[in-house]
Amino acid sequence: MSLLAIGVSHRSAPLPVLERVALTDAAARDLAARALAGDHVDEALVLATCNRVEVYADVSAFHGGLSDLGHALAEATGVSLEELKDHLYVHYADRAVAHLFTVACGLDSMAVGESQVLGQLRLALRSAQESGDAGRVLDHLVQQALRVGKRAHAETGIDRAGASLVGAALQRAERVLGPVTERSVLVVGAGSMSALAATTVHRAGAARITVANRTAANAARLAGAVGGTAVPLAELPAALAEADLVISCTGAVGHVLEQSVAAAAAAAHGGPQLYVDLALPRDVDPAVADLEGVQVVGLEQLGADLAAASLADDLDQVRELVAVEVGEYLAGRRVQAVAPTVVALRARAAEVVQAELARLDQRLPGVEEAVREEVQRTVHRVVEKLLHAPTVRVKELASRTDGGSYAAALRELFDLDPQEVAAVSDVPVERVAQ
């Protein structure tokens, strides 16, 4: 396995750049296809969220794979590689595994500790599996990352530490508007983040919740779940005029809430309003913030709010868990890498045994069947005992960072043909005799 990860996120790029590289589901699939069209990429998976676009790939060469992924990212986003290069980060081999596990735990999120990224990673894997873009390497890796993420939330305090972006938005709203129990809330959009927003304000006891969405059925479904009212986007201006708090997160390209519409709503509302923009690209026209009595809060401000929280102890727990899991995963991969050598060695031994038994049959054709079977069992037992110690030991040594040299020594000592080893390279670890 040669894992390569390349990406851009809120940690490496300003919001305007993230807006330009944001991908729809279809664009993410196109990016994976472009990556696989490269000469050095065997598998590819794209993780595209509101604050990151990352490509994970199994590559045959580092520099060639990096070139393939970089050009694919530039072509899929429409942002030149020259513009992207100052904002891209690259992780290879061990560091790529550690980065993915860190992302899955929510440690690298804008809202540190949020669990939504687990669902996004699961969907990314499903898409890559259905398209055939992810094979055994990425499938196993991402499955492990999902398991590590679940462990982090189940076994550490990261859930307590990691307030969601919506939670941070609600805290900001209470500072600006007062108790949410006295406020009317408008949620624009009906996707996963909008559902989280609606659920959060519902639990907080919002006086009134309205959901506006392009698809009426989705708006009605979400509104019904939180005891709210659904309205079509055509009625958005009237809904804005009645809302104290507006939370918007759609997948639209371009502004959903223009300044002119917000200005009319503010005039009709007559009181302070807060717009929370959780979308990328942004739903709310930045010019809305210039309106009197209206405040706009976006991902950057909410990220700063969350970063100010004291998370040290809880995050240290998760970092330790990730370090242990990365070590175990890499050790397992090293053991799996030596498995073909062990299988080839046992296959060579089996060939020698069969050849010698055939030679015995030729030299002593009159040997009774019972005697022959006992001789065969004896020879097999001798071979098994002789091979047991070196095969078990080489697997133990292979788990170390320098384990590959022991497999090479075994191949040299027993004169194993590289083609024999390559022929069994797809044999899983569990098939190797203990």
CATH number of residue 208's parent domain: 3.40.50.720
Number of domains, the chain: 3
pLDDT score at 6: 97
Which of 161, 179, 210 is the last residue before a domain boundary?
Answer: 161
Can 105 be counted among the known catalytic residues? no
The DSSP 8-state label assigned to residue 42 in this structure reads E
Residue 309 located in a structural domain: no
Do 125 and 171 fall within a single domain? no
Do 209 and 130 fall within a single domain? no
Do 344 and 239 fall within a single domain? no
Do 119 and 213 fall within a single domain? no
How far, CA to CA in Å, does 207 sit from each of 41, 180, 226, 245?
A: 53, 7, 11, 11
Catalytic residue among 50, 306, 318, 421: 50
Do 147 and 60 fall within a single domain? yes
- Output the tens digit of pLDDT for each of the chain's 434 residues: 589 999 999 889 888 888 889 888 899 999 999 999 999 999 999 999 878 999 999 999 999 999 999 999 999 999 999 999 999 999 999 999 999 999 999 888 877 777 778 989 999 999 999 999 999 999 999 999 999 999 998 998 777 654 567 888 888 899 999 999 989 999 999 887 788 889 989 999 999 999 999 889 999 999 999 999 999 988 999 999 999 999 998 877 789 999 999 999 999 998 999 999 988 788 999 999 999 999 999 887 887 776 655 566 777 889 999 999 998 888 777 766 676 777 777 777 888 888 888 888 888 888 888 888 888 888 888 888 887 777 777 766 666 666 556 667 767 767 776 665 555 554 433 333 33
pLDDT score at 423: 55
Cα within 13 Å of Cα(19), Cβ side: 17
Residue 322 located in a structural domain: no
Q: Are 29 and 131 in contact (CB under 8 A)?
A: yes
Cα within 13 Å of Cα(193), Cβ side: 24
Do 181 and 112 fall within a single domain? no
Do 347 and 288 fall within a single domain? no
Residue 326 located in a structural domain: no
| Distance, CA of 389 to CA of 56 (rounded, Å) | 38
pLDDT score at 162: 47
Enter the tokens of residue 86: 């100052």
pLDDT score at 430: 36
| CB neighbours of residue 349 within 10 Å | 17
Residue 420 located in a structural domain: yes
| Distance, CA of 258 to CA of 428 (rounded, Å) | 57
- Residues in CB range of 33: below 8 A, 6 or more apart: 131, 133
| Distance, CA of 386 to CA of 403 (rounded, Å) | 21
Compute the C-alpha angle 13/14/17, nearest 5°: 80
SS3 165: helix
Residue 409 located in a structural domain: yes
Compute the C-alpha angle 114/117/122, nearest 5°: 145
| Distance, CA of 202 to CA of 194 (rounded, Å) | 12
pLDDT score at 309: 58
- Could you list the residue range(s) of the whole structural domain that residue 283 is in? 165-304
Residue 84 located in a structural domain: yes
Q: Are 420 and 352 in contact (CB under 8 A)?
A: no
Nearest CA to 203 among 157, 249, 164? 164
| CB neighbours of residue 233 within 10 Å | 17
Residue 323 located in a structural domain: no
What CATH number does residue 23 fall under? 3.30.460.30
Q: Are 53 and 302 in contact (CB under 8 A)?
A: no
| Distance, CA of 113 to CA of 96 (rounded, Å) | 20
Do 256 and 338 fall within a single domain? no
**HEC secondary structure over 300-341:** HHHHHHHHCCCCHHHHHHHHHHHHHHHHHHHHHHHHHHHHHH
Residue 315 located in a structural domain: no
pLDDT score at 91: 96
The alpha-carbon radius of gyration of the chain (Å, integer) is 29
Do 252 and 150 fall within a single domain? no
Enter the tokens of residue 371: 């005697």
pTM (2 decimals)?
A: 0.65
Do 64 and 128 fall within a single domain? yes
- Residues in CB range of 156: below 8 A, 6 or more apart: 314, 317, 318, 321
Pairing of strands 89-92, 184-188: unpaired
SS3 195: helix
Do 11 and 155 fall within a single domain? yes
Do 224 and 88 fall within a single domain? no
pLDDT score at 411: 72
